[in-house]
Amino acid sequence: MSDPDLHLLQGEVAVSLKVLDRLSAYLISFVEERLPAIGRNTDSALIVAGTLENYYTAAETLFVRISQHFENHLSRDRWHSDLLHKMTIQVSGVRPLVLSDHTVTLLTELMRFRHFKRYYFSLDYDWRKLDLLIDNCREAHASLGSDLSVFLSTIFS
């Protein structure tokens, strides 16, 4: 396909994946290497929470770019969840689906956490919930990479 805008989108996906890879690697490294040394306290919880928030924001920014390229019609009231939902829809003659239902389920939890973190300003995070979100992010990252690979191969086939 020789559509320059589509090639630009391909480049945006590649750049976004590098950012997501770095955030995911940082989170895993922090949890496995630094967290045992510093312990589960407010400081470490803020680092984990911030990294989870940044991960989802980077993913969502990519979804906005995809949406803008292909359709760009989002509800004003619930555009975050609307955007995520639209990534599961194949738009016949326009674009293939971007995300599997499995990936969206995982990312929805990260989106909800980001909303909580941004609007409730907590310093007292529940480590049981953070542990679940860390596992969720690891699984989402692998699933998201796979979904985006299929998406790109489909639009360039």
Q: What is the pLDDT of residues 15-66, one digit of tens each?
A: 999 999 999 999 999 999 999 999 999 999 999 999 999 999 999 999 999 9
pLDDT digits (tens, 9 = 90+) for 132-148: 999 999 999 999 999 99
Q: From residue 108, give the alpha-carbon distance in Å to each of 28, 39, 84, 113, 118.
A: 20, 28, 8, 9, 15
Mean pLDDT of the 61-79 span: 84
Instruction: Give the contacts of 130 (CB within 8 A, at least 6 positions apart).
Output: 45, 48, 49, 52
pLDDT at 1: 42
- Beta bridge partners, 95, equal 91
CATH no. for residue 129?
Answer: 1.20.120
pLDDT (0 to 100) of residue 157? 79
What is the pTM assigned to this prediction? 0.92
Quote the Cα angle for 111-117-118, to 5°.
Answer: 90
Mean pLDDT of 67-84: 82
H and E: helices and strands count for the chain: 6, 0
Q: In this model, does residue 103 exceed pLDDT 70?
A: yes
DSSP-based three-state secondary structure for 69 = helix
- Please tell me the predicted confidence (pLDDT) of residue 135: 98
Helix (H) or strand (E) holding 67: helix 42-70
Residue 111 has pLDDT above 90, yes or no: yes
pLDDT at 105 over 70: yes
Print the domain residue range for 25: 4-155
- Write out pLDDT tens, residues 79-101: 888 899 999 999 888 899 999 99
Question: What pLDDT is stored for residue 22 in this prediction?
Answer: 98
Identify the band that residue 2 occupies on the pLDDT scale cut at 50, 70 and 90. Answer: low
- The number of domains in the chain is 1
